[in-house]
Amino acid sequence: MNSMPSQSTVLFATLVSLAVLGFAQASGDSPALAPGLHALSLTRAGEPAIHYALYIPRGYSASTPAPLVLALHFGVRGGDATGAGGDVVQALVGPALAELGGIIVAPDSVRGDWSSPENEKAVSALLDEVEGRYAIDKKKIVVTGYSMGGAGSWHIAEKYPERFSAVIPVAGRPPASATGWKLPVLAIHSREDQVVAFGPAEARVIELQKSGVNAKLIALTGITHYETSRFRDALRQAIPWLREIWK
């Protein structure tokens, strides 16, 4: 039996509709964007352009620093105008985390998975761009992602731990070891995941807990790997978890 959509899901869908999926090239003198989801590009001298989706929450004000969510997409490129980054925002991250009132930035992979040096550099450049253009609370920046993006969120958090307050990997393969890890982790994984095994995520969270890290695993049942939107309810549980961390 299908449940009724949550208030945050309806709000997010409404804002996406109102924004009419605006398209723009990011530039120093570009006007403030309306609330909703926008498809943008960041050009870089001598480097590939970074195509990305940017969600601006209703009520955003330059006078009040907002949380920032870096959302990393799954492996299949999206077919709509917002690209793969827009796909993961619309299918999962936006509806689940809308109540945070944060900006969401979701790059398209430059080439390959998120662990490549090219993507590491692109993600860092995009974070610099968004932090420089919008009022961002530097103590409330998180990284999340699904599938390839879940693995990528583990990787990017490990690569740039100073940039984030927490990491929320969803259905993503964790690193082989968590030695030296400090960031809080909320991992979300289904026991029925037929693509990315549940065991490594469980083992990594246990390892982190034993080392004193704030780590939690939300273990789901009855959801297979490609049912992305069914992970929304679990990801919503990150909201009170993050608010506790941010106190």
The string of pLDDT tens digits covering residues 164-185 is 999 999 999 999 998 999 999 9
pLDDT (average), residues 136-151: 98
pLDDT of residue 25: 45
- pLDDT digits over 19-75, tens only? 444 444 444 445 679 999 999 999 999 999 999 999 999 999 999 999 999 999 998
pLDDT at 72: 98
pLDDT at 207: 97
Beta strands 66-72 and 47-56, pairing class:
unpaired
- Lookup: tokens for 168: 């929320």
Contact 82, 104 (CB under 8 A): no
Q: Which of 131, 130, 153 is nearest to 142 (CA)?
A: 153
**Partners of residue 168 on adjacent β-strands:** 144
- The residues pairing with 36 across neighbouring beta strands, listed in sequence order, are 56
Which domains are delineated in the chain?
7-25+34-245 (3.40.50.1820)
DSSP reduced 3-state for 218: strand
Confidence check: pLDDT of 98 > 60 = yes
Q: What phi-psi label fits residue 212: left (phi over 0), alpha (psi between -120 and 50 degrees) or beta?
A: left
pTM attached to this predicted model? 0.90
pLDDT at site 31: 61
> Has residue 201 got a pLDDT over 70?
yes
Determine the average pLDDT of the residues in 138-163. Answer: 98
pLDDT at position 111, please?
A: 82
Q: Is the confidence at residue 227, as pLDDT, over 70?
A: yes
Round to whole Å and give the CA distance between 215 and 13. 31
pLDDT at res. 112: 85
Mean pLDDT of 123-135: 97
DSSP type of residue 132 = H
